[in-house]
Every structure is written in C-alpha cells, then in structure tokens.
C-alpha cells in the first residue's frame, strides 16, 4: 500500500506539470508511453503529457520515479523482490500453453506436507546450511507458478490420503478412505465398486504409450500410491487378508491390482485390443502384502518371523517376475540390488525395500539391508523412464512426512520434506523445462503450527527466544515453549533424544499438555513436541495446501482450486485423455 | 524411551555371570504364573519358542507376541482378543540392546531393582542350576538361570509364582490369533475411523506393561518402577 500511495503522488505531480504547457497554439500529439520503470508492476512510468506548443513555455522536467525511490531502490529486499517479478514475467512470457506440450509429467506428493511444514522445512534446511533460515528456498519454492488446493473429501471436512490422491490422479473428488472410485461408492462395500471406477492419469499415460512409474517411501499399497493404479472400496484392502471374509469375492486386493495392472488395464478395454507394457518402475515398501504367510517366502532382511500376510498362498513377487521375465526386468529388495541396476539396460524395475513402510530419511542408516533415499529412487526412475521417446509419467510420494507428524515428531517430518526437496531438485536437473511438467503438492496438512515470536534465525526446532533476547521466553506458567507444536496428538512422549525413528514414541505413554522443557534439547531428533488435545496420534488438518509447478501447463496452477484440478492440469499438459482415446478408439 | 532398557541393563548387571547362559538349556516351554499386583490377582502364560514368544494375560485377553529377528530387531504385536485385532510395533526403542532385552522379555520379571539384590544360595548343576536372590525390603527372586526361567518373585505388593511348566504350546496359542486384523502402529493416524482404533483411542493404547496386568478396558496397570 505504501508503494501505491507514492506512485499515485508521482503520477499526479507529472500530470500537473504537464498541464503547464503554453496557452498559444494547439497541443501536439500525445507522446508515446514511457518505458517501464525498474520497479516492476508498480514502477511503470505514466504516459507522457500532451506536447506543449513549440517556442513557448518550456515544460518543466518530469519528476523521475527513481528519484522518489532513491532511498528504496538499493535496498536488498527491494532488489530481490523486483528481480523475482522480472523472473516471473519471463516465465509468463515463455508459457507453453498448448495442450499436449509436456512430453513428461512428474507429480511429487508430500504426504501431509502442509504450508507450515514447507515453511519450517525451508528454515531448517537453511539453518543447516549456516543461514538464518527464513530466507532459504526449497527447490520447489523456486518454481514460477503456485496455487492453493482445497483438500476436503466429498464426505469429510478434514480429508485423508485416499480421497485426496484420487482427486489428484483422477480429476474427481471422492469419499474419505476410498481409492480410484467416485463418490457413489460405499466405503467397505465391494459391490459398490463396479461402475464407479475412475480412470487415472497413470492409466491414461500407459495407454498413450508413455512409460510410467510410481515411487513411495510408504508401502507401495498405501493410499497415495494405490490411487495411481487401483480401484478399491477401502484403502485398507492392501492384501487379501485385509478384506472382509464375505461379500468381497468380486474385488481384488490392492497389491494384486498392482501386479496385475497391465492385464487389468487391457481387460478393462478388451474391446479395443489394447496392448500396454505395464508400469515400468515401482519402488517403495510393503513386501508383506505381496508375500504369502509362509516363512519360507521371507526376504533375507525380514524383521518378522513370517514376513508375508497373504492367506491365499500367492507370492506376488514371484508372479511379477514371471510376468516380467526378460533380462532387462529386475526385482530388488535392498540397497545393493538397487545400486546394481543399469538404467540403460532396464525395462521394468520392481523394488520392495521394506516389509512395511520404508525408513524415515534420518533413520535410513539403521535399515538392516539398506534402502535407497527418495532422491536416489527418483533419479533411478527418471533415467529408466526417459528411455521411452514417447515420454513418461512418474508419481513420487514422500510418504513418511505424514507418519512423523502423526507421531508428533517434527524433526523427522521436516527432514523428510527436505529429502523430498532434494528429489525434486534432481528431477529438475534431469529434465527439460520445455518438455517436462513438474508439480509438487501435498494431499493434506497437519495440525502443525509455527508460533510465538522467535527472533530471526532462532532454531526452528528450538525454544522461542524473542527479538533482542538471549534466553527463552517464558509462558505465563513460567516455562519455556517451542516454536513448532501440535494442536493434538501424543504430546511430549518419553523418547531417547538420539532416536531417529519418530514411531518410537508409540511405545511411550501419551503426555499432552505443558512440560518443563528448560533442560530439554528440543532440537534433538527424538524430541516429540508438546500437544494440546490427547489423541492416539496427531491428526490431519483441513486447510488448503500449496501446489507448485513448472514446465508446460504449469501456468494453469494459480489461484485457489479444488484439489482435482491437478489431474486436469496434467491432462492438459500431456493431452493424456485425448492420446489415450486415440489408442482405444483409433478411428 | 529406554526405561525398559535401563531396567534390563540393571537386571543383567546383577546376573552378569549368567548373561551368556547356555543356549542348549533354553528350550521351547510354556509357563503359567499366578501373579498378583496390589489387589489384582490373575494368571499370565508365557509360551516360548526359539525366537518367538507369547505372553498372555489370561484375564483380559491382551496378548503380546514378540519376535527377535536374526537380523537384530525386536518386533511386537499386541493382540486384543475381545476385538480380534492387533497392533504391530517395531521395537526400535530397544535398538542396539535387543539381545539383552529379549532375555528380559522372555524371563518376564517385573522389577527394576534387581541390581540391589544379593545371591544367597545356589543349588543343582548344569541346566538345572537354581539361584535365590534376596534383598533388604523383602524382595526375593528364584530362577533357573541356565534355562532363563523364573520360579518366583516377591516384592512388596507384587508376586509371581510359577504354577505350571509344560511343553510349549506356542504355535497353538498363536494360531488362535492367526486371523486377527493387524494395524501397523504407523498407520494409526490414518485409521481413526476404524472401530478398533476408536476404542483404543478411548481406552488409551496399551503400553509396555511392566506388570503384565491390564484393566477391563485395556489400560496398563503399571508395575513398580518403570512407568512409561
């Protein structure tokens, strides 16, 4: 507002002075508009006034905008923001608006990565790099386009990952807890699935001849990745043992749908004699849902006596390796196997690195057989998928941001967000802005707050130290408090400060309310933040989340949107539905 | 965290001479104990089978399954019979100390003050060595160290007394819970609508119960010394 007032005054002065032209003779033609000022949209020079008559009163010199801003224009914040506007203008000028311009599409989903999580993570990353932190930018903070996503489910004010990811992947909001089906579904009712299935962006890409891939640090059958390939009346139907004993015979469990994806997609379009080649890259956790309940099927790094949960006797890993049995198809379960993959000689890659969810990034070194990081998996996937000249679709989920928040442990939530940022940066490096759409978003937020009045550069995981102070501020109860906290959850549970697994907190009793943190290192990995409302775990939140985008079609990410817009942006950028339809209906 | 770990360290520092008890003496076995804690009386059955064990509270139907992976980690599943559900835990809070914690779990001695006890007598030989420890304050512990079997433990307000010792029926007792629905602890936050999880939210999730006792709502009744 302040800038606008100054600017208006400048214009008024300019016009008044111009009005002092001579009274003899006709005014000349209006002059051409002046060049844009250096101060971006607020700095455009006003139009020149009408020319005065020659030889008479000479016009007084115009007041320069730069003069008025002389005390401002050398301000670093001012310059930085001005340059940002110039960069954005360049991005706008180079928008690729034509449908189908994106050869490749990459969707990154930070599960539970609400706006406060993004903010705190960028500060933590910056502070780790020796900065104050607030001025830092995560990789996707630098993307030219961003908007907001309204995350509610059709039947839920505060959503879950199943309904939200279905909206993002299929373009239609649906009910909480359901996967790849519309709102006419009855959760848990197998019979209601038929006729309510939704097509997904991954399926359209597959039909269109693109390579496809999914990555998650959660179980690959978990809600977010499942919504790329499965149709299920319940997100929990991850293997056959999770399904109702009666009434679900007509439904296929989620793990089975992943392994049978190629056959199922072809069968769904049987009349078109569709011939697809299956999902090229699948990496994540969740071996238990693919293996039979038989110790003989255990992986070498099993942590359970019997790793598999399946009670139908099927070994889906074996089934996958039978379906994809060429010399260029590989199943891997550990870091060594992952490292051995030659991306230029790989057609299909199936990696299941953990019995359940993969490890938190900060805890990854403790994995028995070793696991790749999210960034490593992203790099490997892109290098395999980009072997297809028709392009690729890749979904990458950082699934454990959500789990760390649920456990009430901000340290791991922020570290996993930073790792997601690293994965995005690598994807950006490996692809071309002219032909690759990259979208980064979240499915929902968490009740995670950044509060109090800490001074600039105060450790984001630390106690609030006020501007000008050296000691922590005290609340009215006489005790210090931390900047980041949770509205609900398990609270400050007793966990070893060095513990890097957020879930260790589930072994300790709920401890909500205020705690004397005077002698506690709140920046330690094992610290679990205070919470107000006691619950078995911290919950999702219902506010909007950010969408960050670059590449062809990214300009469509703007304003406040229903979450389902993400599918439509991807569909526009890749012309997915039209291309898939041309395959299914060639005439 | 690691209060149980600390307790374990204390326990086994007291019995350092037996920390490397002969593996051949430790056999699959089912043990039933009469247990009392304050006014509560009940029975706890422990079924051991190599790297697996079940600990059944015969009154409440809250059952712990423990597995000590050859790769190191301990895994815990806590079953609630009345709900035919279970929650799976990865016991990372014992990381680096799993072997000692495993011995503690299988022995199931509900105390955190063993380091203050004194060896009073020893009898028998080989696998049947029996030791009696006592301390001021009226504590007494009798065990078979080579077999890692507790015979009795008495302390103010607490009593464990072995009632039966039989061949292990671990597999049969585990099979009873074979078809229970399991929820990974990390998924509790995404399962708030699950009826079982809703009940557990009201009851409070069953925690590492030192006493082995839980009330009719699944609340752990804390033993002495290591509350969580």
User: Which is it for the CA torsion A559, A564, A570, A571, positive or negative?
Assistant: negative
How many Å lie between the alpha carbon of A139 and the closest alpha carbon of chain B? Answer: 28
pLDDT for residue A349: 98
Other Cβ atoms less than 10 A from the Cβ of A274: the count is 17
**Cβ contact (<8 Å) for A506 and B201?**
no
- Interface touch B201/A403, C-beta < 8 Å: no
**C-beta atoms of A501 and B201 within 8 A:** no
**B2 closest CA partner among A505, A538, A367, A304:** A505
pLDDT value of position A66: 56
CB A44 within 8 A of CB A14: no
**Model pLDDT for residues B203-217, shown as the tens digit of each residue:** 555 443 334 444 333
A312 contacts chain B (CB < 8 A): no
Task: Closest CB to A501: pick one of B92, B204, B227.
Answer: B92
List C-alpha distances in Å: A44 to A10, A31, A39: 11, 15, 7
CB of A9 within 8 Å of a chain B CB? The answer is no
- Kindly identify which residue of chain A lies nearest to residue B208, measuring between CA atoms: A507
The answer to whether A504 faces chain B, any CB pair under 8 Å, is: yes
CB contact under 8 A, B190 and A161: yes
For B135-158, give the DSSP string: ETTTEEEEEETTTTEEEEEEETTE
State the best of B49, B89, B189 to mutate against chain A, taking most chain A CBs within 10 Å. B189
Cross-chain residue pair B90–A501, CB shorter than 8 Å: yes
Q: Which DSSP helix (H) or strand (E) runs through B52? A: strand B52-57
Please judge whether A507 and B189 are an interchain contact, meaning their C-beta atoms are less than 8 angstroms apart. Answer: no
Report A:513-542 residues touching B (Cβ under 8 A).
526, 535-540
Do B191 and A161 make contact, defined as CB atoms within 8 angstroms?
no
Q: How far apart are CA B121 and CA B131, in angstroms?
A: 6
Question: For residues A247 and A250, what is the distance between their CA atoms, to the nearest angstrom?
Answer: 8
Q: What are phi and psi of A561, to 5 degrees?
A: -135, 155
Q: Residue A400: closest CA among chain B residues belongs to which residue? A: B186
Q: Rounded to an integer, what distance in angstroms lies between the CA atom of residue B134 and that of residue B112?
A: 14
Kindly give the confidence (pLDDT) of every residue in chain A, 587 residues in length, as a single tens digit, with 9 standing for 90 and above: 333 333 333 333 333 333 333 334 444 444 444 444 444 444 344 444 444 444 445 555 555 555 788 889 889 999 999 999 999 999 999 999 999 999 999 999 999 999 999 999 999 999 999 999 999 999 999 999 999 999 999 999 999 999 999 999 999 999 999 999 999 999 999 999 999 999 999 999 999 999 999 999 999 999 999 999 999 999 999 999 999 989 999 999 999 999 999 999 999 987 778 999 999 999 999 999 999 999 999 999 888 999 999 999 999 999 999 999 999 999 999 999 999 999 999 999 999 999 999 999 999 998 889 999 999 999 999 999 999 999 999 999 999 999 999 999 999 999 999 999 999 999 999 999 999 999 999 999 999 999 999 999 999 999 999 999 999 999 999 999 999 999 999 999 988 899 999 988 887 888 999 999 999 999 999 999 999 999 888 999 999 999 999 999 999 999 999 999 999 999 999 999 999 999 998 87
Tell me which of B87 and A85 has the higher pLDDT.
Answer: A85
How far apart CA B15 and CA B13 sit, in angstroms, is: 5
Task: Kindly indicate the confidence band of residue B224, based on its pLDDT and cuts at 50, 70 and 90.
Answer: very low
pLDDT of residue A16: 36
Looking at residue B158, its pLDDT comes to: 83
Question: Beta A448-450 vs A484-489: how paired, if at all?
Answer: antiparallel
Which of B72, B91, B201 shows the shortest C-beta gap to A536?
B201
Rounded distance between C-alpha atoms, residue A236 and residue A100, angstroms: 35
Q: Is the pLDDT assigned to residue B172 strictly greater than 90?
A: yes
Sign (positive or negative) of CA dihedral A181, A183, A184, A185: positive
Q: Which of A161, A211, A232, A398 is catalytic?
A: A161
Interval B119-134 mean pLDDT: 93
Nearest residue on chain B to A402, alpha-carbon basis: B189
Q: Out of B95, B179, B228, whose CB is closest to A366? A: B95
Residues of B in contact with A236 (CB under 8 A): 191, 194
Q: What is the pLDDT of residue B54?
A: 95
B71 min Cα distance to partner chain A (Å): 7
User: What is the distance between the alpha carbons of residues A399 and A572, in angstroms, rounded to a whole number?
Assistant: 27
Nearest-Cα distance to chain B for A260, in Å, is 25
Closest chain B residue by Cα to residue A306: B67
Rounded to whole angstroms, how far apart are CA atoms A353 and A332? 8
Nearest residue, CB atoms, A356 vs list B71, B184, B228:
B184
Mind telling me how many Å the CA of A45 is from chain B's nearest CA?
55
Residue of A nearest to B200 (CA): A536
How far apart are the C-alpha atoms of A370 and A333, rounded to whole Å?
9
CB contacts, 8 Å: A407 with chain B: 186, 189
Burial of B201 (0-12, 13-18, 19+ CB in 10 A): middle
Length of chain B: 228
| Closest in A406, A407, A507 to B89, CB measured | A507
- Encode B206-223: b = buried (16+ Cβ within 10 Å), e = exposed: bbbbbbbbbeeebbbebb
Euclidean distance between CA atoms B61 and B130, whole angstroms: 32
Which pLDDT score, from 0 to 100, does residue A567 have? 98
Reading across the β-sheet that carries B85-90, which strands appear in turn?
Answer: B118-123, B130-135, B139-144, B149-155, B158-166, B29-37, B40-49, B52-57, B62-68, B74-80, B85-90, B181-184
Are A501 and B192 in contact (CB < 8 Å)? no
- The answer to whether residue A302 neighbours chain B at the CB level (below 8 Å) is yes
Contacts of B90 (CB under 8 A, 6+ apart): A303, A356, A501, A503, B73, B75, B76, B185
- Please provide the size of chain A in residues: 587
Residue A355, min C-alpha distance to chain B (Å): 11
Percentages of chain B per state (helix, strand, coil), in multiples of 5: 25, 40, 35
Q: How many other CB atoms are there within 10 angstroms of residue B176's CB atom?
A: 14
The C-alpha angle A441, A447, A452, rounded to 5 degrees, equals 110
| CA–centroid distance for A111 within its chain | 7
The structure's pTM equals: 0.85
User: What is the rounded CA–CA span in Å between residue A247 and residue A237?
Assistant: 13
How far off is chain B from A223, nearest CA to CA, in Å?
Answer: 10
Residues of B with CB under 8 A from a CB of A: 1-3, 51-52, 67, 69, 71-73, 75, 88-93, 95, 179, 181-182, 184-186, 188-194, 197, 200-201, 204-205, 207-208, 227-228
User: Are the C-beta atoms of A159 and A444 separated by less than 8 Å?
Assistant: yes
Quick one: angle between helices B98-107 and B3-14, nearest 10? 80
Q: CB–CB of A494 and B191 under 8 A?
A: no
Q: How many CB atoms lie within 10 A of CB B121?
A: 10
Whether the CB of A176 is below 8 Å from some CB of chain B: the reply is: yes
Are the beta carbons of B22 and B146 closer than 8 angstroms?
Answer: yes
Report how far residue A468's alpha carbon sits from residue A463's, in angstroms, rounded to the nearest whole number. Answer: 15
CA-to-CA distance for B127 and A239, rounded, in angstroms? 45
Q: What is the pLDDT of residue B60?
A: 85
Flag if A407 and B186 touch (Cβ within 8 Å): yes
Cβ atoms < 10 Å from Cβ of A238: 28
What residues in B contact A526, CB-CB < 8 Å? 1
Percent of chain B residues topping a pLDDT of 70 = 71
CA distance A416 to A218: 12
- How many cross-chain Cβ pairs, A to B, lie less than 8 Å apart? 112
Strand partners, A351: A283, A332
Chain A 476-495, residues with CB within 8 Å of chain B CB atoms:
494-495
CA-closest candidate to residue A463, choices A513, A506, A524 = A524
Residue B87: closest CA among chain A residues belongs to which residue?
A: A506
Are A536 and B92 within 8 A, CB to CB? no
Tell me the chain B residues in contact with residue A509 when contact means C-beta distances shorter than 8 Å: 204, 207, 227-228
Asked whether the beta carbons of residue A403 and residue B189 sit closer than 8 angstroms, the reply is yes
Helix (H, G, I), strand (E, B) or coil at B83: helix
Q: Decide if A161 is catalytic.
A: yes
- B92: confidence class by pLDDT, cuts 50, 70, 90: low
A163: number of CA atoms within 13 Å, CB side? 24
CA distance A536 to A509: 10
A510 touches chain B (CB under 8 A): yes
Contact A536 B52 (CB under 8 A): no
Contact B92 A499 (CB under 8 A): yes
B29-86 confidence digits (pLDDT tens): 999 999 888 878 899 999 999 999 999 999 888 899 999 988 888 888 989 999 899 9
Contact check, Cβ <8 Å, A496/B227: no
Contact between A538 and B189 using a beta-carbon 8 Å cutoff = yes
Q: Which residue of A has its CA nearest to B184?
A: A356
CB contact under 8 Å between B185 and A503, yes or no, is yes
């Amino acid at each position: 507002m302040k800038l606008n007032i100054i600017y208006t005054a400048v214009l008024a002065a300019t016009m008044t002075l111009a009005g002092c032209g001579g009274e003899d003779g006709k005014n000349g033609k209006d002059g051409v508009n002046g060049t844009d000022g250096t101060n971006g949209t607020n700095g455009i020079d006003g139009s020149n006034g009408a020319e005065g008559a020659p030889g008479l009163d000479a016009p007084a010199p115009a007041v320069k905008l730069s003069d008025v801003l002389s005390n401002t224009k050398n301000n670093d914040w001012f310059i930085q923001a001005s340059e940002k506007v110039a960069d954005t203008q360049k991005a706008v000028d180079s928008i690729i608006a034509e449908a189908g311009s994106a050869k490749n599409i990459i969707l990154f989903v930070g599960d539970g990565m609400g706006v406060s999580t993004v903010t705190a993570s960028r500060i933590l990353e910056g502070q780790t790099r020796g900065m104050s932190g607030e001025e830092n930018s995560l990789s996707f903070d630098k993307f030219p386009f961003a908007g907001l996503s309204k995350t509610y489910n059709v039947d839920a004010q505060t959503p879950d990952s199943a309904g939200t990811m279905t909206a993002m992947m299929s373009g239609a909001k649906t009910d909480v807890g359901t996967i790849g089906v519309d709102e006419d579904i009855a959760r848990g009712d197998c019979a209601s699935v038929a006729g309510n299935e939704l097509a997904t962006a991954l399926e359209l890409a597959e039909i269109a001849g693109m390579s496809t891939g999914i990555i998650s640090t959660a179980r690959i059958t978990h809600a977010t990745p499942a919504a790329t390939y499965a149709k299920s009346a319940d997100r929990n139907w991850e293997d056959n043992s999770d399904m109702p004993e009666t009434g679900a015979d007509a439904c296929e469990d989620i793990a089975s749908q992943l392994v049978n994806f190629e056959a199922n997609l072809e069968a769904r379009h049987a009349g078109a004699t569709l011939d697809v080649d299956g999902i090229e890259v699948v990496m994540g956790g969740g071996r238990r849902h693919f293996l039979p309940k038989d110790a003989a099927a255990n992986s070498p790094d099993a942590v359970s006596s019997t790793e598999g949960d399946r009670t139908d006797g099927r070994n889906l890993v074996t089934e996958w390796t039978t379906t994809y049995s060429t010399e260029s198809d590989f199943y891997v379960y550990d870091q060594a196997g992952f490292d051995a993959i030659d991306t230029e000689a790989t057609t299909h890659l199936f990696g299941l690195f953990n019995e359940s969810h993969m490890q938190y990034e900060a805890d990854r070194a403790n994995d028995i057989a070793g696991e790749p990081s999210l960034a490593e998996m992203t790099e490997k996937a892109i290098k395999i998928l980009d072997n297809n000249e028709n392009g690729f679709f890749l979904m990458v989920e950082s699934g454990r941001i959500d789990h760390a928040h649920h456990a009430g442990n901000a340290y791991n939530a922020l570290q996993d967000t930073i790792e997601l940022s690293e994965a995005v940066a690598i994807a950006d490096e490996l692809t071309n802005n002219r032909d690759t759409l990259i979208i980064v978003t979240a499915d929902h937020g968490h009740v995670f707050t950044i509060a109090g009045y800490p001074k600039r550069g105060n450790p984001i995981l630390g106690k609030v130290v006020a501007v000008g102070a050296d000691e922590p501020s005290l609340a009215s109860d006489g005790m210090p408090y931390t900047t980041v906290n949770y509205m609900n959850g398990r609270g400050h549970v007793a966990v070893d400060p060095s513990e890097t697994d957020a879930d260790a907190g589930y072994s300790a009793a709920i401890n909500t309310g205020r705690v004397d943190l005077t002698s506690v290192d709140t920046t330690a990995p094992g610290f679990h933040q205070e919470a107000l409302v006691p619950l078995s775990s911290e919950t999702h939140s219902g506010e909007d989340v950010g969408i960050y985008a670059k590449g062809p079609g990214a300009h469509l990410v703007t304003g406040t949107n229903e979450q389902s817009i993400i599918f439509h942006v991807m569909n526009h950028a890749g012309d997915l539905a039209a291309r898939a339809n041309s395959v299914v209906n060639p005439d | 965290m690691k209060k149980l770990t600390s307790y374990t360290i204390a326990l086994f520092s007291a019995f350092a001479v037996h920390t490397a008890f002969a593996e051949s003496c430790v056999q699959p076995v089912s043990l039933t104990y009469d247990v009392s804690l304050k006014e509560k009386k009940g029975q706890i059955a422990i079924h051991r089978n190599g790297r697996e064990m079940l600990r059944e509270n015969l009154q409440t139907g809250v059952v712990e399954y423990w597995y000590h992976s050859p790769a190191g980690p301990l895994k815990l599943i806590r079953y609630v019979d009345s709900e035919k559900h279970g929650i799976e835990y990865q016991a990372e809070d014992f990381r680096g100390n799993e072997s000692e914690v495993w011995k503690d779990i299988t022995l199931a001695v509900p105390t955190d003050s063993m380091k203050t006890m004194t060896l009073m007598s020893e009898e028998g030989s080989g696998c049947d060595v029996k030791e009696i420890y006592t301390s001021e304050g009226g504590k007494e512990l009798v065990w078979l160290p080579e077999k890692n079997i507790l015979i009795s433990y008495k302390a103010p307000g607490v009593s464990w007394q072995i009632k039966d010792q039989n061949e292990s029926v671990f597999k049969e007792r585990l099979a009873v819970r074979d078809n229970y629905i399991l929820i990974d602890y990390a998924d509790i936050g995404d399962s708030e609508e699950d009826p079982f999880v809703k009940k557990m939210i009201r009851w409070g999730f069953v925690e590492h119960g030192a006493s082995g006792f839980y009330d009719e709502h699944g609340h752990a009744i804390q033993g002495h010394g290591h509350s969580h």
